[in-house]
Amino acid sequence: YEHGQIDGRPRMYTEMLEQPASVERALRGRLDERFATAHLGGLEMDARELRAVRRVKILGCGSAYYVGQMGASLIEELARIPADAEAASEFRYRSPVIEPDTLYVAVSQSGETIDTLLAVEEVRRKGGRVIGLVNVVGSAIARACDGGIYLHAGPEIAVASTKALTTMFVGFALLALQLGRVRDLSVADGRRLVAGLQKLPAQIEQVLEGEERIAQAGTALAPAESLFFVGRVRGYPVAREGAQKFKEISYRHAEAYQMSELKHGPLALISPEVPTVAVVPDDELTDRNVAALHEIAARGGPLVVVTHAGVDLGELAAERIDVPRNERELDPLLLTVPLQLLAYHAALALGHDVDKPRNLAKSVTVE
């Protein structure tokens, strides 16, 4: 079970397909419909302690760091607590100010990543409180934290993380909901989020059912030597994670950029040889995003747009991938899944071993 392919399919593929089940497990027993909140017993923080949190700092590496950025948005939006994510590897090499009323969150699939572990130890040595969002039970990071949330994704073997990432997102959504409901988040908003979270497993299934179309788009992108992945605000960490996955397994240069910053540099590189994968949810920023897509199209840049049905892309000759609608705050998860499939099919088309990308290790445990 631990190694190699299953039914001739790469592990990455079977792990992507397991996501509805792993997300279901990550949610199980943690939603409270009556009080429209989440219960995360492992945090070992009571309501008074949760209310005392003035800032949230999320630390992780690689894909865990990008999901951490999604998590920071969720916490700011739902709990209205200033939150940000930083690469644990950078955090521990500068001289960070550790604040007593900041909640530090370490996020890691393996629970063994040395940079994240040493960041946790540094924070704790200086008196900060750290909770872990970790998949592997009893791992070094889980043991080093004051409390935490296990992800219950199940064993993840492929180097490119998929099902662990989606459960990390769910972990952050639960944390944001619980932090929000002991502060200003209304019952109505709490209910909205509880219902949205419950819909996720079936909606991820729907995205996976659209594989054929995404496979075509991925195969079409494979010949490009260089690509951009762009998004704005909630969509930006999705673009970062999409680019990460793409470069990890296709070995193509995939660069993520804020949609809003395109005109401040990268537009110079847009051409028919440089495709752009754009993350354009139906939200308060859609018009701005579609305007930026026109800038790309005007320079002949091929476009793949991950979006919602009903978003009007006008005359743009874009390949579109529609994902199901949920609550806006939860959009990043559903937008992330097609980008996994996109990278996977590009890598397959190039003949790469997607489970064991060159030069990478599943968890980096040495400095």
Interacting residue ranges for ligand G6P, rule: CB under 6 A? 61-64, 108-110, 113, 116, 159, 161, 360, 363-364
Angle between the 163-181 and 187-209 helix axes, to the nearest 10 degrees? 170
Q: Which is nearer to ligand G6P, 316 or 364 (CB)?
A: 364
Q: Which is nearer to ligand G6P, 161 or 326 (CB)?
A: 161
Smallest separation, CB 9 to ligand G6P (Å):
20
Smallest separation, CB 106 to ligand G6P (Å):
9
Q: Which is nearer to ligand G6P, 140 or 270 (CB)?
A: 140
Measured between its terminal Cα atoms, the distance across the chain in Å is 29
Cα–Cα distances in angstroms (integers) from residue 306 to residues 91, 231, 300, 335, 339, in the given order: 32, 10, 19, 7, 8
Q: Which is nearer to ligand G6P, 298 or 361 (CB)?
A: 361
- Which of 50, 76, 57 shows the shortest CA–CA distance to 182? 50
Smallest separation, CB 343 to ligand G6P (Å):
12
Q: Which is nearer to ligand G6P, 131 or 285 (CB)?
A: 131
- Which of 249, 272, 273, 271 shows the shortest CA–CA distance to 352? 249
Return all residues near 335 (Cβ < 8 A) that are at least 6 apart: 235, 238, 279, 281, 306, 323
Smallest separation, CB 248 to ligand G6P (Å):
6
The token duo for 104 is 């530090």
Closest-by-Cβ residue to ligand G6P is 62
Smallest separation, CB 19 to ligand G6P (Å):
16
Smallest separation, CB 13 to ligand G6P (Å):
16
Q: Which is nearer to ligand G6P, 108 or 167 (CB)?
A: 108
For residue 55, the surrounding DSSP H or E stretch is: strand 55-60
The SS3 assignment for 18 reads coil
Phi, psi of 238 (to 5 degrees): -65, -45
